[in-house]
Amino acid sequence: MKNKKKWIIPLFIVAVVFLLMLTFRYGNDYYWHLKAGEYMVKNHIVLKTDVFSWYLPAFHPVWISHEWLFEIFLYLSTILFGKYAAVTITFSFVATLFFILYFTNREGFRKNIYFTILWLMAGAVLSMNTLPRPFLISNIFLAITLFLLYDLRKNENSNKIYFLPFVAMLWANFHGGSSNLSYILVFIFYFCGLFDFEFGKISSRMLHKTQSKKYLMVFILIIFAICINPHGVSMLLYPYQNMHNAFMLETIGEWQPTNFNNSASLMYIFLLVIFLIPLLKGRKKISFVDCMVVLMFVFLGFKSIRFWPLSYIALTYVVFTYVTKQKEQKVLLDYTLMISAYIIIASSCFLFHLPKQELIDEKFIQLLKAEQPQRLYNFYDYGGYLIYRDIPVFMDGRADLYSKYNYHDYYNLSLLRGPYESILSKYDFDYFLLDKGYPLAYYLSTHDDYELLLEKENIVLYKKK
């Protein structure tokens, strides 16, 4: 029984990863990330200004390409793995994350097989719609960061914490938009270690001077490490600029707050409920630092759905400390084995049928290349693929770059809000590529100044006469 327990959870994790890969899709951002990586490799530069839009270059905008190293990695992966590159790196990153969570918490994972299976399944559901994007590696960096921070708290003589500045430096270059979490978390661990108290179920233990010094030193080193990137000190401020852009937060789906009226949000609420059960049910005192870590990530999770996976990772490092040990039943282990094997075999069959790489039908691409528009209006979700196909765009997934220039106008025009007639005159678009379900598409279809060139499925292409 004991030996079975050691390998049944890793096998179940493999099954969970395979299950998640059934939700794999490329997404619109994948394409401009790939093209940016190709551009940087072929031109031997790190992009700091836009080269893909027909509208932005006149303003010489500064582009904080905080994901530049991931984009280069993505492009080099396509050279190595071809059309399987996106699937390969996505599978590798997701599997790496779950195994880091397991191996750095394996005693906790083995304490209660019932809870562990429930927790892993909750994480799988919460992480569905798996995309080959930089946040995958941010998840890994966060898991490593939390492991190193908790390791020092448990063992004052541990020096593993000194790997953290190196992790932060990589984080700032692979996905700098989230790298501020590294020094924020170090500060939380340092701050919580200054107090020694008990208040109800919450308990705080003052750190040894050696531990406090290590946390403080690593905090300073991380600040310097994050600045080691092509954009320098700007990376320290960049994450906060996005989080204070109210219009962008309001209009982009992944930045939306957790909505109790949305059925998808119920899974996050369910995660919080099953997280609270071991903490409230058990007799063990709840650590003050655990409370602060949980409050921080739950706040982020409620603030934006894009933080749900990060919240899950942080809660994983807390919850298994409080899970009570139970004696496993052999029948549960046997069922877990059978279900895991079935999921892996069934998922492997489906994974041979990869999603289509083409986001837009090839007829639209060929027609646009033949027509050679000078001032193309394009739907937000199509921008990344147009960049990938070397067609200059008006808008794409880099909303942080466009927000100072044309993002407001794009949004108002697409929904025919505000002075949309004057916006049309301002940009003088010669072609329009958009989803026919949008109000702008209806407007174009009812005005004789615009000619429908092509319509297929939900996409339409109009030309100004």
Where are the alpha helices (H) located in 193-251, listed in sequence order? 209-226, 234-243, 246-251
Give me the sheet containing 286-287, strands edge to edge.
Answer: 197-199, 202-204, 286-287
What is the phi-psi region of residue 390: left when phi exceeds 0, alpha when psi lies from -120 to 50, beta otherwise?
A: left
Of the chain, the percentage scoring pLDDT greater than 90 comes to 71
Confidence of residue 334 (pLDDT cuts 50, 70, 90): low
AA identity, residue 59? F
Cα→Cα distances 91→85, 96, 292, 443, Å? 10, 8, 32, 43
Three-state secondary-structure class, residue 448 = coil
Indicate whether 301 pLDDT > 70.
yes
How many CB atoms sit inside 10 A of residue 259's CB? 11
- End-to-end Cα spacing for the chain: 76
Does 1 score more than 60 pLDDT?
no
The residues with which 198 forms a beta bridge, in sequence order, are 203
The pLDDT value given to residue 356? 72
Rounded Cα distance between 339 and 341, Å, is 5
The torsion angle over the Cα atoms of residues 180, 181, 183 and 184, rounded to 10 degrees, is 110
Determine the Cα angle at 179 with ends 173 and 184, to 5°. 155
Encode pLDDT of 58-117 as tens digits. 999 999 999 999 999 999 999 999 988 999 999 999 999 999 999 999 999 988 888 888
Residue 172 C-beta-side C-alpha neighbours within 13 Å: 26
Burial class for 326, CB neighbours closer than 10 Å (0-12, 13-18, 19+): exposed
Q: Is the dihedral of CA 180, 186, 191, 195 positive or negative?
A: positive
| Highest mean pLDDT (candidates 15-29, 315-329, 432-446) | 432-446
For residues 441-459, give the mean pLDDT.
Answer: 95
Describe the crossing of helices 68-81 and 85-103 by its angle, rounded to 10 degrees. Answer: 120
Q: Which of 101-115, 332-346, 393-407 has the lowest mean pLDDT?
A: 332-346
Residue 463 has pLDDT above 90, yes or no: yes
Higher pLDDT: 1 or 381? It is 381
Q: Which two tokens stand for residue 362?
A: 């090839």
Please state, in angstroms and rounded to a whole number, the distance separating the CA atoms of residues 137 and 96.
9
What is the predicted pLDDT for the residue at 332? 65
Highest averaged pLDDT of the listed ranges 37-41, 263-267, 325-329, 404-408? 37-41
Residues 193-205 have pLDDT tens digits of 999 999 888 999 9
Does residue 299 carry a pLDDT above 90? Answer: yes
Three-state SS across 416-431? Answer: CCCCHHHHHHHHCCCE
Is residue 326's pLDDT more than 80? no
Q: Residue by residue, what is the 3-state secondary structure of 273-314?
A: HHHHHHHHHCCCCEEHHHHHHHHHHHHHHHHCHHHHHHHHHH
**Pairwise CA distance, residues 46 & 44, whole Å:** 7
- Asked whether the beta carbons of 102 and 95 are under 8 A apart, the reply is no
> How many CA atoms, within 13 angstroms, populate the side-chain half-sphere of residue 164?
34
Whether 413 contacts 420, CB under 8 Å: yes
Contacts of 12 (CB under 8 A, 6+ apart): 117, 120, 336, 339, 340
Q: How confident is the model at residue 247 (pLDDT cuts 50, 70, 90)?
A: confident
**Residue 204 confidence (pLDDT):** 92
* Residue 25 DSSP label: -
- Report pTM: 0.93
Whole-number pLDDT of residue 353: 65
- Measured between alpha carbons, how far is 131 from 263 in angstroms, rounded to an integer? 21
Q: Is 159 exposed, middle or buried (CB count within 10 Å of its CB: 0-12, 13-18, 19+)? A: exposed
What element of type H or E holds 109?
A: helix 106-111
In the chain, the amino acid numbered 200 is: G
Assign 182 a pLDDT band (cuts: 50, 70, 90).
very high
Q: Tell which phi-psi region holds residue 429, choosing left (phi > 0), alpha (psi between -120 and 50) or beta.
A: beta
What's the mean pLDDT when you consider all of the chain? 91
| Residue 4 scores a pLDDT above 90 | no
Q: Taking phi first (over 0 means left), then psi (-120 to 50 degrees means alpha), and beta for anything else, what does residue 80 get?
A: alpha
What pLDDT score was predicted for residue 351? Answer: 62
Cα separation, 341 vs 122, in Å, equals: 19
β-strands 376-378, 431-435 pairing: parallel
